[in-house]
Structure 1
Amino acid sequence: MEEVGQIFAARRLIEGFVIERLAESIDADQLRTLRELMKQERDTYRAGDMRTGIKLSTDFHVQLAQCAGNTVLTEFLQQLVARTPLIFLAHGDPGKSVSCSDQEHANIIAAVIAGDTERAVKAMRAHLDHLESHVVPAERTKPLDLAQLLGL
Protein backbone atom coordinates (compact mmCIF):
# COMPACT_ATOMS: atom_id res chain seq x y z
CA MET A 1 0.00 0.00 0.00
CA GLU A 2 2.97 2.31 0.50
CA GLU A 3 3.67 2.11 -3.23
CA VAL A 4 0.09 3.19 -3.97
CA GLY A 5 0.59 6.34 -1.92
CA GLN A 6 3.89 6.99 -3.67
CA ILE A 7 2.31 6.64 -7.12
CA PHE A 8 -0.46 9.10 -6.30
CA ALA A 9 2.02 11.50 -4.66
CA ALA A 10 4.15 11.41 -7.81
CA ARG A 11 1.09 11.96 -9.98
CA ARG A 12 0.05 14.97 -7.87
CA LEU A 13 3.48 16.55 -8.31
CA ILE A 14 3.79 15.88 -12.02
CA GLU A 15 0.19 16.62 -12.95
CA GLY A 16 0.13 19.74 -10.78
CA PHE A 17 3.16 21.08 -12.67
CA VAL A 18 1.67 20.01 -16.01
CA ILE A 19 -1.58 21.85 -15.27
CA GLU A 20 0.30 24.99 -14.21
CA ARG A 21 2.16 25.04 -17.54
CA LEU A 22 -0.96 24.24 -19.52
CA ALA A 23 -2.99 27.02 -17.89
CA GLU A 24 -0.32 29.44 -19.09
CA SER A 25 -0.03 28.16 -22.64
CA ILE A 26 -2.95 26.11 -23.97
CA ASP A 27 -3.84 26.81 -27.58
CA ALA A 28 -7.03 26.24 -29.59
CA ASP A 29 -5.83 23.00 -31.22
CA GLN A 30 -4.83 21.50 -27.88
CA LEU A 31 -8.16 22.51 -26.38
CA ARG A 32 -10.04 20.87 -29.27
CA THR A 33 -8.03 17.67 -28.79
CA LEU A 34 -8.73 17.58 -25.05
CA ARG A 35 -12.44 18.29 -25.49
CA GLU A 36 -12.78 15.56 -28.10
CA LEU A 37 -11.00 13.10 -25.83
CA MET A 38 -13.30 14.05 -22.93
CA LYS A 39 -16.37 13.55 -25.16
CA GLN A 40 -15.16 10.12 -26.30
CA GLU A 41 -14.43 9.14 -22.71
CA ARG A 42 -17.86 10.28 -21.48
CA ASP A 43 -19.69 8.55 -24.34
CA THR A 44 -17.72 5.34 -23.84
CA TYR A 45 -18.44 5.16 -20.11
CA ARG A 46 -22.12 5.93 -20.72
CA ALA A 47 -22.24 3.06 -23.21
CA GLY A 48 -20.87 0.78 -20.49
CA ASP A 49 -17.53 0.11 -22.17
CA MET A 50 -15.31 0.27 -19.09
CA ARG A 51 -12.19 -1.10 -20.80
CA THR A 52 -12.13 1.61 -23.46
CA GLY A 53 -13.26 4.22 -20.93
CA ILE A 54 -10.31 3.47 -18.66
CA LYS A 55 -7.95 3.72 -21.64
CA LEU A 56 -9.44 7.07 -22.65
CA SER A 57 -9.21 8.31 -19.04
CA THR A 58 -5.52 7.50 -18.91
CA ASP A 59 -5.05 8.99 -22.39
CA PHE A 60 -6.61 12.24 -21.14
CA HIS A 61 -4.03 12.59 -18.36
CA VAL A 62 -1.15 11.82 -20.72
CA GLN A 63 -2.54 14.21 -23.35
CA LEU A 64 -2.51 17.00 -20.77
CA ALA A 65 1.21 16.42 -20.29
CA GLN A 66 1.82 16.29 -24.03
CA CYS A 67 0.01 19.59 -24.46
CA ALA A 68 2.17 21.14 -21.73
CA GLY A 69 5.18 20.27 -23.88
CA ASN A 70 7.47 18.47 -21.44
CA THR A 71 8.39 15.12 -23.01
CA VAL A 72 10.28 13.84 -19.98
CA LEU A 73 7.36 14.45 -17.63
CA THR A 74 5.02 12.96 -20.22
CA GLU A 75 7.07 9.75 -20.20
CA PHE A 76 7.07 9.61 -16.39
CA LEU A 77 3.35 10.24 -16.30
CA GLN A 78 2.68 7.50 -18.86
CA GLN A 79 4.40 5.03 -16.55
CA LEU A 80 2.46 6.20 -13.49
CA VAL A 81 -0.90 6.38 -15.23
CA ALA A 82 -0.44 2.89 -16.68
CA ARG A 83 -0.09 1.55 -13.13
CA THR A 84 -3.27 3.17 -11.84
CA PRO A 85 -5.76 0.60 -13.23
CA LEU A 86 -3.57 -2.14 -11.73
CA ILE A 87 -3.84 -0.42 -8.35
CA PHE A 88 -7.62 -0.61 -8.58
CA LEU A 89 -7.43 -4.24 -9.63
CA ALA A 90 -5.34 -5.12 -6.59
CA HIS A 91 -6.68 -2.67 -4.01
CA GLY A 92 -9.91 -1.20 -5.36
CA ASP A 93 -13.08 -0.93 -3.38
CA PRO A 94 -15.51 -3.25 -5.19
CA GLY A 95 -18.39 -0.95 -4.20
CA LYS A 96 -16.97 2.04 -6.08
CA SER A 97 -16.53 2.76 -9.76
CA VAL A 98 -12.91 3.08 -10.84
CA SER A 99 -13.65 5.41 -13.72
CA CYS A 100 -12.51 9.01 -13.86
CA SER A 101 -15.34 11.47 -13.48
CA ASP A 102 -16.03 13.37 -16.69
CA GLN A 103 -17.16 16.31 -14.55
CA GLU A 104 -13.80 16.35 -12.77
CA HIS A 105 -11.99 16.39 -16.10
CA ALA A 106 -14.32 19.17 -17.28
CA ASN A 107 -13.57 21.19 -14.11
CA ILE A 108 -9.85 20.88 -14.75
CA ILE A 109 -10.20 22.02 -18.36
CA ALA A 110 -12.52 24.90 -17.42
CA ALA A 111 -9.91 26.23 -15.00
CA VAL A 112 -7.15 25.80 -17.60
CA ILE A 113 -9.21 27.69 -20.20
CA ALA A 114 -9.80 30.47 -17.70
CA GLY A 115 -6.06 30.66 -17.11
CA ASP A 116 -6.76 30.15 -13.40
CA THR A 117 -3.66 28.20 -12.48
CA GLU A 118 -4.50 27.87 -8.80
CA ARG A 119 -8.02 26.57 -9.48
CA ALA A 120 -6.72 24.20 -12.18
CA VAL A 121 -4.10 22.69 -9.87
CA LYS A 122 -6.67 22.35 -7.05
CA ALA A 123 -9.09 20.64 -9.45
CA MET A 124 -6.41 18.18 -10.55
CA ARG A 125 -5.37 17.41 -6.99
CA ALA A 126 -9.00 16.94 -5.96
CA HIS A 127 -9.46 14.59 -8.90
CA LEU A 128 -6.42 12.52 -7.93
CA ASP A 129 -7.54 12.52 -4.28
CA HIS A 130 -10.92 11.21 -5.44
CA LEU A 131 -9.25 8.44 -7.44
CA GLU A 132 -7.03 7.51 -4.51
CA SER A 133 -10.08 7.36 -2.23
CA HIS A 134 -11.16 4.27 -4.19
CA VAL A 135 -8.20 2.38 -2.75
CA VAL A 136 -8.92 0.53 0.48
CA PRO A 137 -6.42 -0.44 3.19
CA ALA A 138 -4.67 -3.76 2.58
CA GLU A 139 -6.46 -5.58 5.38
CA ARG A 140 -9.85 -4.75 3.77
CA THR A 141 -8.83 -5.34 0.17
CA LYS A 142 -10.57 -8.03 -1.82
CA PRO A 143 -9.06 -7.96 -5.32
CA LEU A 144 -11.42 -7.20 -8.16
CA ASP A 145 -11.80 -9.66 -10.96
CA LEU A 146 -9.91 -8.42 -14.05
CA ALA A 147 -12.97 -8.94 -16.22
CA GLN A 148 -15.06 -6.91 -13.77
CA LEU A 149 -12.52 -4.06 -13.79
CA LEU A 150 -12.47 -3.96 -17.57
CA GLY A 151 -16.24 -4.33 -17.87
CA LEU A 152 -16.05 -7.64 -19.70
Structure 2
Amino acid sequence: MKQEQESADARIYRSIFEGVLSRKLTPGTKLPEPELCALFGASRAVVRRALEKLAYDGIVVLRPNKGAMIAQPTREETRMIFEARRAVERSLVELAAQRASRTDIAALREQLAKEHEAMHRFDQPSWARLASAFHLRIAALAGNAILEQYLTELISRCSLIVGAYEPEGNAPCEHDEHTAILDCLEARDAEGANAHMSAHLRELEARIETSRMPGAKGLAQLLGIEPVQRTLVD
Protein backbone atom coordinates (compact mmCIF):
# COMPACT_ATOMS: atom_id res chain seq x y z
CA MET A 1 0.00 0.00 0.00
CA LYS A 2 2.83 2.38 0.79
CA GLN A 3 4.34 1.81 -2.67
CA GLU A 4 0.96 2.65 -4.26
CA GLN A 5 0.89 5.90 -2.28
CA GLU A 6 4.39 6.81 -3.48
CA SER A 7 3.49 5.99 -7.09
CA ALA A 8 0.40 8.18 -6.90
CA ASP A 9 2.43 11.06 -5.42
CA ALA A 10 5.02 10.74 -8.18
CA ARG A 11 2.40 10.55 -10.94
CA ILE A 12 0.66 13.72 -9.78
CA TYR A 13 3.98 15.53 -9.31
CA ARG A 14 5.23 14.49 -12.76
CA SER A 15 2.00 15.43 -14.55
CA ILE A 16 1.94 18.92 -13.06
CA PHE A 17 5.69 19.48 -13.47
CA GLU A 18 5.58 18.37 -17.13
CA GLY A 19 2.45 20.45 -17.63
CA VAL A 20 4.53 23.48 -16.67
CA LEU A 21 7.47 22.52 -18.90
CA SER A 22 5.18 21.98 -21.90
CA ARG A 23 3.41 25.30 -21.23
CA LYS A 24 0.05 23.61 -20.63
CA LEU A 25 0.00 24.95 -17.06
CA THR A 26 0.90 28.63 -16.95
CA PRO A 27 1.78 30.72 -13.88
CA GLY A 28 -1.33 31.46 -11.87
CA THR A 29 -3.23 28.33 -12.95
CA LYS A 30 -5.32 27.09 -10.03
CA LEU A 31 -4.94 23.48 -8.87
CA PRO A 32 -8.15 22.63 -6.96
CA GLU A 33 -7.72 19.60 -4.73
CA PRO A 34 -11.16 18.07 -5.54
CA GLU A 35 -10.41 18.24 -9.27
CA LEU A 36 -6.97 16.67 -8.83
CA CYS A 37 -8.52 13.90 -6.72
CA ALA A 38 -10.99 13.17 -9.53
CA LEU A 39 -8.38 13.36 -12.29
CA PHE A 40 -5.96 10.96 -10.64
CA GLY A 41 -8.32 8.81 -8.58
CA ALA A 42 -6.36 9.75 -5.47
CA SER A 43 -7.33 10.80 -1.98
CA ARG A 44 -6.84 14.33 -0.66
CA ALA A 45 -3.93 13.09 1.46
CA VAL A 46 -2.06 11.87 -1.64
CA VAL A 47 -2.83 15.05 -3.58
CA ARG A 48 -1.66 17.23 -0.71
CA ARG A 49 1.63 15.35 -0.43
CA ALA A 50 2.28 15.92 -4.13
CA LEU A 51 1.37 19.61 -3.87
CA GLU A 52 3.61 20.04 -0.82
CA LYS A 53 6.56 18.57 -2.74
CA LEU A 54 5.81 20.87 -5.71
CA ALA A 55 5.62 23.83 -3.32
CA TYR A 56 8.96 22.86 -1.75
CA ASP A 57 10.50 22.83 -5.25
CA GLY A 58 9.06 26.28 -6.02
CA ILE A 59 6.65 25.07 -8.72
CA VAL A 60 3.44 25.58 -6.75
CA VAL A 61 2.26 28.12 -4.18
CA LEU A 62 0.01 26.92 -1.36
CA ARG A 63 -2.32 29.70 -0.22
CA PRO A 64 -4.17 29.34 3.11
CA ASN A 65 -7.92 28.96 2.54
CA LYS A 66 -7.44 29.53 -1.22
CA GLY A 67 -5.79 26.34 -2.40
CA ALA A 68 -2.81 25.73 -4.67
CA MET A 69 -1.75 27.46 -7.85
CA ILE A 70 1.21 27.40 -10.22
CA ALA A 71 3.79 29.87 -8.89
CA GLN A 72 4.20 33.27 -10.54
CA PRO A 73 7.86 34.31 -10.28
CA THR A 74 8.44 38.05 -10.46
CA ARG A 75 11.19 39.77 -12.42
CA GLU A 76 13.12 40.37 -9.19
CA GLU A 77 12.78 36.74 -8.09
CA THR A 78 13.93 35.63 -11.54
CA ARG A 79 17.00 37.86 -11.31
CA MET A 80 17.92 36.52 -7.88
CA ILE A 81 17.38 32.88 -8.88
CA PHE A 82 19.64 33.15 -11.91
CA GLU A 83 22.21 35.13 -9.96
CA ALA A 84 22.33 32.41 -7.30
CA ARG A 85 22.45 29.66 -9.91
CA ARG A 86 25.44 31.22 -11.69
CA ALA A 87 27.31 31.46 -8.39
CA VAL A 88 26.60 27.84 -7.43
CA GLU A 89 27.35 26.40 -10.88
CA ARG A 90 30.64 28.33 -11.01
CA SER A 91 31.91 26.40 -8.01
CA LEU A 92 30.51 23.08 -9.23
CA VAL A 93 32.08 23.42 -12.68
CA GLU A 94 35.49 24.17 -11.19
CA LEU A 95 35.31 21.07 -9.00
CA ALA A 96 33.97 18.87 -11.81
CA ALA A 97 36.81 19.96 -14.11
CA GLN A 98 39.26 18.69 -11.48
CA ARG A 99 37.48 15.44 -10.58
CA ALA A 100 35.64 14.12 -13.67
CA SER A 101 37.10 10.90 -15.09
CA ARG A 102 37.12 9.76 -18.70
CA THR A 103 34.23 7.46 -17.86
CA ASP A 104 32.29 10.41 -16.43
CA ILE A 105 32.90 12.44 -19.60
CA ALA A 106 31.76 9.53 -21.77
CA ALA A 107 28.54 9.27 -19.74
CA LEU A 108 27.93 12.99 -20.25
CA ARG A 109 28.43 12.52 -24.01
CA GLU A 110 25.70 9.87 -23.94
CA GLN A 111 23.52 12.28 -21.99
CA LEU A 112 23.97 14.92 -24.70
CA ALA A 113 23.09 12.39 -27.40
CA LYS A 114 19.78 11.65 -25.68
CA GLU A 115 19.18 15.38 -25.26
CA HIS A 116 19.81 15.90 -28.98
CA GLU A 117 17.41 13.12 -29.91
CA ALA A 118 14.62 14.48 -27.67
CA MET A 119 15.16 17.93 -29.17
CA HIS A 120 14.64 16.59 -32.69
CA ARG A 121 11.52 14.68 -31.59
CA PHE A 122 10.14 18.03 -30.44
CA ASP A 123 9.55 16.37 -27.06
CA GLN A 124 9.78 19.46 -24.86
CA PRO A 125 9.19 17.77 -21.48
CA SER A 126 11.81 15.09 -22.17
CA TRP A 127 14.28 17.58 -23.56
CA ALA A 128 13.82 19.91 -20.60
CA ARG A 129 14.33 17.01 -18.18
CA LEU A 130 17.51 15.92 -19.95
CA ALA A 131 18.83 19.48 -20.16
CA SER A 132 18.39 19.90 -16.40
CA ALA A 133 19.90 16.45 -15.83
CA PHE A 134 23.05 17.54 -17.70
CA HIS A 135 23.63 20.32 -15.16
CA LEU A 136 22.83 18.00 -12.25
CA ARG A 137 25.23 15.35 -13.54
CA ILE A 138 28.03 17.91 -13.63
CA ALA A 139 27.06 18.83 -10.06
CA ALA A 140 27.33 15.18 -9.00
CA LEU A 141 30.82 14.97 -10.52
CA ALA A 142 31.91 17.91 -8.36
CA GLY A 143 31.64 15.71 -5.29
CA ASN A 144 30.03 18.31 -3.02
CA ALA A 145 26.62 17.15 -1.85
CA ILE A 146 25.69 20.48 -0.26
CA LEU A 147 26.32 22.50 -3.43
CA GLU A 148 24.56 19.79 -5.44
CA GLN A 149 21.45 20.13 -3.26
CA TYR A 150 21.47 23.91 -3.67
CA LEU A 151 21.60 23.51 -7.43
CA THR A 152 18.79 20.93 -7.43
CA GLU A 153 16.48 23.42 -5.70
CA LEU A 154 17.52 26.28 -8.00
CA ILE A 155 17.00 24.19 -11.13
CA SER A 156 13.45 23.32 -10.05
CA ARG A 157 12.65 27.03 -9.76
CA CYS A 158 14.42 27.81 -13.03
CA SER A 159 12.43 25.06 -14.77
CA LEU A 160 9.19 26.84 -13.92
CA ILE A 161 10.52 30.16 -15.21
CA VAL A 162 11.93 28.70 -18.41
CA GLY A 163 8.92 26.48 -19.09
CA ALA A 164 6.53 29.39 -18.68
CA TYR A 165 8.44 32.36 -20.03
CA GLU A 166 11.12 31.27 -22.53
CA PRO A 167 10.05 31.58 -26.20
CA GLU A 168 9.98 28.28 -28.09
CA GLY A 169 12.71 27.29 -30.54
CA ASN A 170 15.83 27.75 -28.39
CA ALA A 171 16.73 24.10 -27.79
CA PRO A 172 19.39 23.81 -30.55
CA CYS A 173 21.49 26.70 -29.27
CA GLU A 174 21.21 25.46 -25.68
CA HIS A 175 22.35 22.00 -26.79
CA ASP A 176 25.40 23.54 -28.49
CA GLU A 177 26.19 25.45 -25.30
CA HIS A 178 26.12 22.20 -23.32
CA THR A 179 28.51 20.64 -25.82
CA ALA A 180 30.97 23.54 -25.44
CA ILE A 181 30.88 23.19 -21.63
CA LEU A 182 31.56 19.47 -21.86
CA ASP A 183 34.45 19.96 -24.30
CA CYS A 184 36.11 22.24 -21.75
CA LEU A 185 35.51 19.79 -18.90
CA GLU A 186 37.12 17.04 -20.94
CA ALA A 187 40.16 19.28 -21.49
CA ARG A 188 40.16 20.11 -17.74
CA ASP A 189 39.76 23.74 -18.74
CA ALA A 190 37.85 25.04 -15.71
CA GLU A 191 38.14 28.64 -16.83
CA GLY A 192 36.73 27.90 -20.27
CA ALA A 193 33.94 25.71 -18.88
CA ASN A 194 32.99 28.47 -16.46
CA ALA A 195 32.97 31.08 -19.21
CA HIS A 196 30.64 28.94 -21.34
CA MET A 197 28.42 28.10 -18.35
CA SER A 198 28.09 31.74 -17.32
CA ALA A 199 27.31 32.81 -20.89
CA HIS A 200 24.82 29.93 -21.21
CA LEU A 201 22.91 30.97 -18.07
CA ARG A 202 23.01 34.68 -18.92
CA GLU A 203 21.63 34.01 -22.40
CA LEU A 204 18.92 31.81 -20.93
CA GLU A 205 17.95 34.55 -18.48
CA ALA A 206 17.96 37.17 -21.26
CA ARG A 207 15.44 35.12 -23.25
CA ILE A 208 12.89 35.04 -20.44
CA GLU A 209 9.67 36.85 -21.28
CA THR A 210 7.44 37.76 -18.34
CA SER A 211 4.44 38.83 -20.39
CA ARG A 212 2.65 35.47 -20.52
CA MET A 213 -0.56 35.32 -18.51
CA PRO A 214 -2.27 32.36 -16.79
CA GLY A 215 -4.58 30.34 -19.02
CA ALA A 216 -8.33 30.10 -18.63
CA LYS A 217 -8.94 26.43 -19.48
CA GLY A 218 -10.02 23.84 -16.95
CA LEU A 219 -7.40 21.65 -15.29
CA ALA A 220 -8.47 18.49 -17.16
CA GLN A 221 -8.09 20.27 -20.52
CA LEU A 222 -4.74 21.77 -19.61
CA LEU A 223 -3.25 18.46 -18.50
CA GLY A 224 -4.97 16.43 -21.22
CA ILE A 225 -6.23 13.89 -18.68
CA GLU A 226 -9.66 12.32 -18.40
CA PRO A 227 -10.93 11.87 -14.82
CA VAL A 228 -10.50 8.25 -13.70
CA GLN A 229 -13.29 6.26 -12.19
CA ARG A 230 -11.77 3.94 -9.61
CA THR A 231 -11.23 3.40 -5.92
CA LEU A 232 -9.30 6.19 -4.24
CA VAL A 233 -5.69 5.56 -3.32
CA ASP A 234 -5.16 6.38 0.35
CA distance in 1, matches of 2:118, 2:95: 29
Give the TM-score, by structure 2 length: 0.56
Aligned-partner SS, 1:39: helix
Comparing 8-17 with 81-90, which one deviates more in the overlay?
81-90
Alpha-carbon separation, structure 1, partners of 2:214 and 2:197: 26
Q: Distance in 1 between matches of 2:125 and 2:200?
A: 20
- The residue correspondences of 1:33-44 to structure 2 (distance < 5 A) are 33-44=107-118
What is the CA-CA distance between 1:114 and the residue it aligns to?
A: 1.1
Q: Quick check: 1:72 aligned with 2:142?
A: no
1:132 corresponds to 2:202: no
Deviation at 1:44, TM superposition (A): 0.4
Distance 1:53 1:143, change over 3 A: farther
Q: Distance in 2 between matches of 1:144 and 1:63?
A: 33
- In the TM superposition, 1:93-108 aligns within 5 A as 93-94=166-167, 96-97=168-169, 99=171, 101-108=174-181
* Structure 2 counterpart of 1:47: 121
Shift of 1:85: 2.1
* 3-state SS, counterpart of residue 101 of structure 1: helix
Return 5+ residue gaps in structure 2 as ranges: 1-74, 216-234
- What is the one-letter code of the residue matched to 1:97? G
Classify 1:126/1:144 alpha carbon distance in 2 versus 1 (closer, same or farther; 3 Å): farther
Q: Aligned partner of 1:33: which letter?
A: A
TM-score (norm 1): 0.85
How far apart are residue 116 of structure 1 and its match?
A: 1.4
| Contact 1:111/1:119 (<8 A) preserved | yes
Unaligned stretches of 5+ in structure 1? 146-152
User: Does the 8 A contact of 1:34 with 1:60 survive in 2?
Assistant: yes
Q: Structure 2 vs 1, CA of residues 93 and 26 (structure 1 numbering), >3 Å: closer, same or farther?
A: closer
Alignment partners' CA distance in 2, 1:42 and 1:129: 22
Matched, 1:121 2:121: no
Query: Which stretches of structure 1, 4 residues or longer, exceed 2 Å deviation after superposition?
Result: 96-100
Q: Which amino acid aligns with 2:178?
A: H
Query: What is the distance in 1 between the residues matched to 2:77 and 2:131?
Result: 21
Q: Tell me by how many angstroms 1:93 deviates.
A: 4.5
Which of the pair is proportionally richer in helix?
A: 1
Mapping of 1:13-28 within 5 angstroms? 13-28=87-102
Aligned CA RMSD, in angstroms, stands at 1.9
Alpha-carbon spacing, 1:144–1:28, altered in 2? closer, same or farther (3 Å): farther
Distance 1:144 1:124, change over 3 A: farther
Contact map agreement 1:38 1:102 (CA 8 A) in 2? yes
Q: How many residue pairs were aligned?
A: 141
Shift of the 129–144 alpha-carbon distance from structure 1 to 2, 3 Å rule, reads farther
